[in-house]
Structure formats: structure tokens, C-alpha cells
Chain A
């Protein structure tokens, strides 16, 4: 690792000021960034740690009935405290392993937008809103492709707001070596319709499977997606699975999620 300085601001305002300086970068739980620094794939001169900012931590219910999660809240805290949204808590409880969950944060996961990460599916599947120090970003605008998001340079995710569906479930087919999702599907049924978000599969990162959404919105049962299939075109192909295999898994995981949610 190249050397860097570490700053530990106590407020969002101080963190924004520190990150605004040249070659500074936010440090969440470090579960992605520290391995990246070790490989010298990033070389910030200052890391601005967000883990001491109390206003960015914790889970609460907003007045509008949405579940609010601070941007620096760990996966372990969400697993323990997001009881009002059990499918989301269950998803968080299966990210990586216990030590990763004690450090890794929702903001770090969303800022990174790994194509195999779990939170992007939970956020897009729920139609959640990503709140930053400057604005609110709808999940449909937030994810812009593999490792790409709507975040501007120096923008910090301070909170994520989740509308709570009538029923929801996340099914993850674990890639056993990395413990990320080989394919993961988040299904959420709202009074206005069903959302289906898929991670791990597409070369474009997390996406909504619109055919399944339409079918499930008129009939929320596994039978509704029986005839549907996705093409392996544009799907990730690597030593863990071909694009066609991943495309097939999307259907299987979607059915399992519907089954578990219904």
C-alpha cells in the first residue's frame, strides 16, 4: 500500500470539506477499499473515515413510513435492527461473513456498485432513494453500470430510504470462494406492482427484469414466470459460470424469491 493520511471527521459537513480536497477519498468499512489499496489500484493521499460520524449511522422509521438507514451503517446493524423490513435485514445478514458485516457499510457497498454485490439488488428492487450530502437520487437513476453510479466526485451517501413492500425476498446463489452473489434476485411486491432486481448476472451491473415484473404484477406466483427466459447475451461469463448458466439462474432465483415471499 502507498502511504496516506487518515482524517476522522465527526460530522457530514467536515467530511465533505475533507473529501473535497485533492486526492482525498471516503473510507467506509474498508472491506473493499483496503484490499484495493493493498493492490495499489487506488492511491489517495488522504482517506476520510466516515465511521465516526454519528449522524450517518443507524436504522430508523421515517414519518412517511419509509425505513431510513444511515450511509455508514454496517451490514450487521441492518441485519439486527431493520426488523420493519425483514427481507432487507435477511439480505444484510448474508453479506460476506460476520467479520465483514461488522465493518462493511451500506454506503460503501452502493458507492462501489460491484456487479455481484447484494445491496444494489435490495435498493433497486425496493425502489429506494439514495440520499447524499447534496441531493436525493432515485434508485432507477442511481445505478449506471458495473462499478458506475450517479455519484459525483466527492459526493457522500448519507442515508438510504426504503419504502416497505407488502412482501419481499432476496435469493442469493452464493459463489462459494468469494461469498458474493453468483446471481442474486430481489423481488418486492408493492400495492402498485412488483419489482424484480437482479445482481451478479449482467455485464451492465444490477438491472430490473421488466418481463418478470409485468408478469408478477398481474399474478404473483411462480407460475407467472414459467414461460419467461432471459438470454445469455450480455451476461457475465467467467470460470464460475457461463452467461447462459447465469441467465438460467436468474429465472430459478426469481421463482425461489417469489415462493419465499408469497
Chain B
């Protein structure tokens, strides 16, 4: 077992892990941050996306020890300091960007990474960026709409299909 420390959502976190402990397991089982979902565990679905030092990664495909000393942000760290929803989260609610909500933590984290890189993406750029995030419910349309709205763009042209 190795003792690791990292900063998660602005707070110091530490724990004992095995070499094989995945970052997703460390967050969920050790830190009890169960907002990060594990949909496939085969690196395909993106439900487990978190940010490590500001970059989106699949936490089921990174070892916890590799994140030692990093700044990690999970969906639990996305709300505003007063507990109200962030702009992206609120947009998902307003535009019905979720149904069962299983993919939503990964979608929100990918959306946040996209908007940091590209504050006013086109619809095509949003769809392209979400290539690694799979949703079984929504048909993606309202997710794309929510992200466009969160970027401050008019979503009237993103007509419902």
C-alpha cells in the first residue's frame, strides 16, 4: 500500500492505495465522492471523466498513484461556493440535458473542459468534443443545447429534432 495525497475540489485528500487502485475507485470508495460514475470500466463511455490539473481524463483509466500531488476536480466541485448550480449544471437542468443522469457527471466535466478551451464552440465542435461521452437516454440533442446555452449563445437555432 502507498500513501497518496492530492487536492480534490479544493480540499486536501489522502489515503492508502494499492498500485492497481484506479483514480475512479479512490474517489468513489475511499473519498466517498460517488458523483463520478463508472459506466463501462473499459475506457469507452466517459461517465468517469474528472479533471486532473485542469485536463479532462477518464478516471477509470488512470491509476490513483499517478494522480498523487495533483489538483483533481470532480462533479462535486462544480457547484458555486454557495451551493447553487454552476452555469453549466443549471443549463443542463434548464434544457433537459439529462434523463436518468448516469452520464451527466462526465458530460458536465467534459463540457467544462471544452468551454475552458473554446468559450464559444459551434454545435459541430460540441458534438465532436463529446465523442468520448456516451448517453443512453437523451439522444445528445439537449446536452449539446445545454452546453451551447452555457457558453452564452442563442440556442433557438438548435431546434429540437
Could you tell me if B65 and A30 are in contact, using CB atoms closer than 8 angstroms? no
| A38-B41 contact, Cβ under 8 Å, with A1-B20, A98-B129 | yes
Could you tell me if B55 and A102 are in contact, using CB atoms closer than 8 angstroms? yes
Residue B56 is within 8 A (CB to CB) of chain A in the complex: yes
Nearest-CB residue, chain B, relative to A37: B20
Could you tell me if B110 and A98 are in contact, using CB atoms closer than 8 angstroms? yes
Question: Which of A3, A4, A31 is close to B61, meaning CB atoms less than 8 Å apart?
Answer: A31
Give every chain A residue within 8 A of B46 (Cβ-Cβ): 97, 99
Residue B57 is within 8 A (CB to CB) of chain A in the complex: yes
Give every chain A residue within 8 A of B2 (Cβ-Cβ): 6
Could you tell me if A98 and B20 are in contact, using CB atoms closer than 8 angstroms? no
Which residues of chain B (47-63) have a CB below 8 Å from chain A? 49, 55-58, 61-63
Residue B18 is within 8 A (CB to CB) of chain A in the complex: yes
Could you tell me if B113 and A98 are in contact, using CB atoms closer than 8 angstroms? yes
Nearest-CB residue, chain B, relative to A45: B19
Nearest-CB residue, chain A, relative to B22: A34
Residue B131 is within 8 A (CB to CB) of chain A in the complex: yes
Could you tell me if B56 and A102 are in contact, using CB atoms closer than 8 angstroms? yes
How far apart are the CA atoms of A39 and B129 in the complex, in Å? Answer: 28
How far apart are the CA atoms of A1 and B20 in the complex, in Å? Answer: 7
Residue A76 is within 8 A (CB to CB) of chain B in the complex: yes
Residue A244 is within 8 A (CB to CB) of chain B in the complex: no
How far apart are the CA atoms of A97 and B18 in the complex, in Å? Answer: 28
Give every chain A residue within 8 A of B43 (Cβ-Cβ): 31, 34-35, 100
Which residues of chain A (1-36) have a CB below 8 Å from chain B? 1-6, 8, 27, 30-31, 34-35
Across the A-B interface, give the 5 residue pairs with the lowest CB-CB distance, nearest first. Answer: A97-B132, A97-B131, A6-B19, A102-B55, A1-B20
24 A-B contact pairs sorted by A residue (CB < 8 Å): A1-B20, A3-B20, A6-B2, A6-B65, A6-B66, A30-B62, A30-B63, A31-B61, A34-B43, A34-B61, A34-B63, A35-B43, A38-B41, A49-B63, A97-B46, A98-B114, A98-B129, A98-B131, A98-B132, A99-B58, A102-B55, A102-B57, A103-B61, A179-B132
